[in-house]
Amino acid sequence: MAEDEVVFVGNKPVMNYVLAVVTQFNSGAKDVRIMARGRAISRAVDVAEVSRSRFLPDVRVMGIYISTETLDTDRGATNVSAIEITLGK
Amino acid sequence: MAEDEVVFVGNKPVMNYVLAVVTQFNSGAKDVRIMARGRAISRAVDVAEVSRSRFLPDVRVMGIYISTETLDTDRGATNVSAIEITLGK
């Protein structure tokens, strides 16, 4: 399923998400999208780089897309940057 | 000069770097590379998004490239992720 091939990166350690990415590929996924918002964007890049260089040498970056999302918070709407990194074979 | 068309993003407020990007384009640059390492990567994405959506509507993301750089520190070599976002007309 498409939902299974997305890894949302948050505040956990990088290796948690790397494990998720590697698991997706080992389960037969052709490509995996790594998504993050705000300060987690840096970690998403770490996840992509560590997955690729240390665990998945045959996987490469297929595309990187950045955007701005509007979130509703207690103090009104606020803009936050987002990134989507697609890894594929 | 090529050096003038690169903006290195560090720990200053986002708007400082946005101003640098806008200034480059207003000085005649055809494209500007926004570069950052480590935790500044999130801020680099903010710089690209704010520059584009608020100040430079005719500019778009030409390419995004991620990599791993090895830095020599007091405690030995360490790996850090890096991003390069190219904005262009």
Sketch out chain A's domains with CATH numbers.
3-88 (3.30.110.20)
End-to-end CA distance of chain B: 18
Closest CA to A22 of A45, A54, A46, A44: A54
Contact predicate A85/A34, CB 8 Å:
yes
Run of H or E including A8:
strand A6-8
Chain B, 10-69: which have a CB under 8 Å from a chain A CB?
38-42, 45-46, 48-49, 53, 61, 64-68
Q: Which of B66, B70, B78 should we substitute to test contact with A (largest number of A Cβ atoms within 10 Å)?
A: B66
Average pLDDT, integer, range B37-59: 96
Q: Which residues of B touch A83 (CB under 8 A)?
A: 45
What's the confidence (pLDDT) of residue A4?
56
d(C-alpha B30, C-alpha B51), whole Å: 15
For residue A89, name the pLDDT band (cuts at 50, 70, 90).
confident
Structure-derived torsion over alpha carbons of residues A3, B40, B38, A33, reported in degrees to the nearest 10: 10
Q: What is the mean pLDDT of residues B26-30?
A: 92
- Confidence bin at A34 (pLDDT 50/70/90): very high
For residues A15 and A77, the model is more confident at A15
C-alpha distance from B43 to closest chain A C-alpha (Å): 8
For the segment B61-68, the average pLDDT, to the nearest whole number, is 96
Average pLDDT value for chain B? 93
The residue of B15, B43, B45, B56 whose CB has the most chain A CBs within 10 angstroms, and thus the best one to mutate to test that interface, is B45
Minimal-distance CA residue of chain B relative to A81: B46
How does residue A67 score in pLDDT terms, banded at 50, 70 and 90? very high
Separation of first and last alpha carbons in chain A: 18
Q: Which tops the pLDDT comparison, B17 or A73?
A: B17
> What pLDDT score was predicted for residue A73?
85
Q: What is the pTM of this model?
A: 0.91
Binned at pLDDT 50, 70 and 90, residue A31 comes out as: very high
Q: Do B81 and A39 touch (CB under 8 A)?
A: no
Mean pLDDT of B50-54: 95
pLDDT the model gives residue B3: 46
For helices A40-50 and B40-50, the axis angle rounded to 10 degrees is 120
